[in-house]
């Protein structure tokens, strides 16, 4: 269903925008805000950043059909190493920079906004639903009890990721929950099972137990999967297709425990 267009006078007549960061939300074409749709409709150029997150319920081709204009895909190096073409177009035209979730959750997006400001390019942000808040809603884990988040990348030859476990250990010691982002690569998406295998290997080596995990799949879809349990349960659970995300809870408040029991099969 095509999203209807609404006029918003304060944006069209007051705010002059050259580079607009638009959050697409969590899962599909219908997650974007009306403000985001309006910004795309007014844009001369539309970019889609494709490396920090993906909307698994749609495709770039479907976006182009919905928005009625080309959507140019950006890889990590296009944003972090060679953002000059994006900024150059924003000097004289209206450019929209699309991201999954909320635009400024990723530090790489903050960097390109800083670069724009240094070139006196006006910017604005149109926020979208973020996995950071969706995790709390789906798991029932209270948002003020989360510590520093971490990411688990795929191991490489002669290298095994150890930093995420240090973050989890620090948070557990402070009785704080940890959001664990899972690696996204060109044609593969880390699953909860793979992340738990990595963390359990580190747990065994360090002698620090992780007693409970919460795995979440396809947040924002009509049928997300949320399962809580120990490592053995996570390794056997079927979370289905991506995207997956993992949480390592600290000690549970009674309300958190009840929520997980009812909604996550604890």
* Res 50: pLDDT: 87
Residue at which a domain ends, from 99, 129, 159: 129
d(CA 161, CA 209): 17
pTM of the model: 0.89
* Res 17: pLDDT: 58
Residues of the chain with pLDDT under 70: 1-17
The CA-based angle 201-156-241, given to 5 degrees, is: 75
* Res 158: pLDDT: 86
Domain around 229: 132-263
Q: Which of 1, 31, 13, 180 is nearest to 100 (CA)?
A: 31
Into how many domains does the chain fold? 2
Residue at which a domain ends, from 129, 146, 170: 129
Residues 210 and 142 in one domain: yes
Q: Which of 100, 109, 105 is nearest to 219 (CA)?
A: 100
Query: Can you tell me which residue has the tokens 């924003």?
Result: 90
Residues 71 and 153 in one domain: no
Kindly report, residue by residue over 95-109, the tens digit of the pLDDT. Answer: 999 999 999 887 789
Residues 105 and 166 in one domain: no
Residues 91 and 112 in one domain: yes
Give the count of beta carbons closer than 10 Å to the beta carbon of residue 263. Answer: 15
d(CA 79, CA 81): 6
Kindly report, residue by residue over 156-190, the tens digit of the pLDDT. Answer: 888 899 999 999 999 999 999 999 999 999 889 99
Residues 136 and 259 in one domain: yes
Residue at which a domain ends, from 62, 96, 129: 129
* Res 6: pLDDT: 44
* Res 13: pLDDT: 43
């Amino acid at each position: 269903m095509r999203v209807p267009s609404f006029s918003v006078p304060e944006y069209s007549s007051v705010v002059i925008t050259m580079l607009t960061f638009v959050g697409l939300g969590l899962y599909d074409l219908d997650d974007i805000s009306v403000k985001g749709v309006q910004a795309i409709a007014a844009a001369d150029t539309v970019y889609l950043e494709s490396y920090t997150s993906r909307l698994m319920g749609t495709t770039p081709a479907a976006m182009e059909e919905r928005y009625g204009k080309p959507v140019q895909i950006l890889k990590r190096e296009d944003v972090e190493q060679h953002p000059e073409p994006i900024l150059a177009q924003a000097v004289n035209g209206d450019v929209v920079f699309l991201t999954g979730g909320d635009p400024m959750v990723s530090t790489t997006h903050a960097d390109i906004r800083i670069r724009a400001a240094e070139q006196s390019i006006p910017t604005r942000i149109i926020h979208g639903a973020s996995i950071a808040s969706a995790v709390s809603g789906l798991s029932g884990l209270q948002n003020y009890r989360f510590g520093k988040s971490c990411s688990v990348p795929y191991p490489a030859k002669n290298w095994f990721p150890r930093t995420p476990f240090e973050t989890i250990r620090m948070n557990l010691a402070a009785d704080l929950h940890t959001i664990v982002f899972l690696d996204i690569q060109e044609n593969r998406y880390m699953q909860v099972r793979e992340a738990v295998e990595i963390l359990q290997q580190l747990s065994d080596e360090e002698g620090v137990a992780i007693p409970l995990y919460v795995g979440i799949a396809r947040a924002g879809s009509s049928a997300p999967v949320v399962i809580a349990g120990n490592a053995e349960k996570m390794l056997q659970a079927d979370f289905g297709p991506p995207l997956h995300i993992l949480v390592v809870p600290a000690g549970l408040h009674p309300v958190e425990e009840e929520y997980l029991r009812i909604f996550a099969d604890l």
